[in-house]
Chain A
């Protein structure tokens, strides 16, 4: 299961599993955000290439409008996936949180 919603500080909070079955609903949500947005991934348990695709599409759209997607709180087992896919080069990843 996946949950994605606006947090109090203007961040987008994503939690659960961003897999092929949930990618479409995540995309629908992210299609509506603008500017520079931090995606709080502390509650994200899992991401697959379908999820990476959603983030990639969103990042391309935001960059074109001088905005961007920042990723925060990614847990180590998911960082691996960003690293192996080269996605750590495509996003600003806040490794501190």
Chain B
């Protein structure tokens, strides 16, 4: 307790009075009762006519007179008058004649009709040195307040401050808990509408993820196979809290219902918008991408109410097509005639990238947003990976970028990836990975219906190139990507080695296989074999990314040709 003046020690009877008060102050849980108790205690201990407690409203910079017998609540700036002076200095102020003191504000007297003569104003500071408020006791019965009263008041103020703070914090906790429970419930409803599993769509790889912010945001997504096609939705309702969580839930339910009743995309979008315009509060709206894909014709048609940018990675050109919203946000106002949506044809390897603004706008410690470019670079660099792997990469990148900074909004990603003509996977740069590469190749041969007679050659080529990368690319820690693609009459195998010096297999020296055994060494044999067994070898190096790309082609025709060739030459060495 900070008090400028040292007073005499409290007497036993004083202490008894304070202890009685403390006991009384331990009881109440609501603020009104507690304020009543505090004032009653002050009046009793200090023998005053009236008392009042001004609570400090820190966010508003005001002192609020919550209770005073017979006086209505009043708010004053926290610097004003005697209470302000006391709050600022945190010192007791004893004014024997109020009307002689310029700091006294007689307006309260005027409003109440009561006349204040003398007044003791004391700061209520809790044991953590937090200013809780200011207490005033008015008109000492039969005189003015003296030094003893000041000492008593100081001791009393400490008790009152702690008691008041306890009640305030308890009620804040209760309010917070109520809010938390309500939010949690809204969140549960919101989450329950998200699809449990992604539908299996022939020729496509679909992935979606939803990362809720601590406070609810209003994101949602939906991916479902309907009679009309594959429904793809990403929505984001304005604001935070319960309302947006429930708005998007409502939107999703309406949309599913409309489609179930046979609506086409335009009708569903129009009806949804107009229903939301009717039911949402005037200041609320939902941005949403709503699209339908025909997986056979690969036509994707969509409307986007304020949701953007919508990105499509184009495999053929390696760039992104960027679409702006086709309309204003859903529910903002009624639509009578809807403009045409956008139609795109998903080509092999194309990726539709839908990302909520929680990702684009996630800031790092310097306040820089994650932005669109970071998203597109990840997708472009790892385009060959599965939708699930890409989702994980984007999420990891955003988390790494935020580096512990709070997640301000829900984050949602939906990826729709049309299968490329080939398959690819990334492997750790270590010899042990060979087993996983063989398993991947096995699966790829089956899925791409590649002639199994080419297996041994492909396995050998992959192993020889990969072990070479592991042995000689020691400086690099980057993973190695293996891709297989069905080509006419065979398979094309691509190995991508990153963060390495160039190594062009087509220039690797040949091995003299005619040497006698004493002179034969195993070195160089692997790459030599790869060149012999492949029908075509291409090498490409990208200096910017220090990326080495070796492409090999194996065909059944080459297999037969090699067999005939080797048989034709009998058992002699082939050179």
Contact = CB atoms under 8 A, between A and B. Distances in A.
Contacts of A56: 517, 520, 522
A21 B435 contact: yes
A67 interface: no
A48 B456 CA distance: 9
Interface string A38-63: 00000000101110110011011001
Contact of B566 (A20, A59, A60, A83): A83
A57 B521 CA distance: 9
A59 B563 CA distance: 26
Contact of B525 (A17, A53, A80): A53
B533 A84 contact: yes
A34 to B, nearest CB: 18
A21 B431 contact: yes
A21 B525 contact: no
B526 A48 contact: yes
Sorting the interface of chain A by its residue count into under 10, 10 to 19, 20 to 34 or 35 or more gives 20 to 34
Nearest to A79: B566
A17 B522 CA distance: 18
Contact of A48 (B464, B514, B532, B574): B464
Contacts of A90: 517, 520
B566 A85 contact: no
A48 B463 contact: yes
Nearest to A22: B434
A17 B438 contact: yes
A85 B513 contact: yes
Contact of A84 (B434, B453, B455, B574): B574
Given A81-B456, A84-B566, A88-B571, A53 B522 contact: yes
Contacts of A50: 463, 467, 522, 526
A46 B515 CA distance: 24
Sorting the interface of chain B by its residue count into under 10, 10 to 19, 20 to 34 or 35 or more gives 35 or more
Contact of A20 (B431, B453, B525): B431
B517 A85 contact: no
B512 to A, nearest CB: 8
A77 interface: yes
Contacts of B529: 49, 81, 84-85
B456 A84 contact: no
Contacts of B518: 60
Contacts of B463: 19-20, 48, 50
B563 A80 contact: yes
A81 B456 CA distance: 9
B460 interface: yes
B522 A52 contact: yes
A63 B464 CA distance: 28
A46 B458 CA distance: 11
- A57, A59, A81, A89 — which one has the most chain B CB atoms within 10 A of its CB? A89
B221 interface: no
Contacts of B514: 86, 89
A12 B214 CA distance: 65
Nearest to A83: B566
Contacts of B571: 83, 88-89
A65 interface: no
B308 interface: no
B522 A80 contact: no
A-B residue pairs, 4 tightest by C-beta: A86-B513, A53-B522, A49-B526, A86-B573
17 contacts: A21-B431, A21-B434, A46-B460, A48-B467, A48-B526, A49-B460, A49-B464, A49-B522, A49-B525, A49-B526, A52-B522, A56-B517, A59-B517, A84-B532, A84-B533, A86-B573, A89-B513
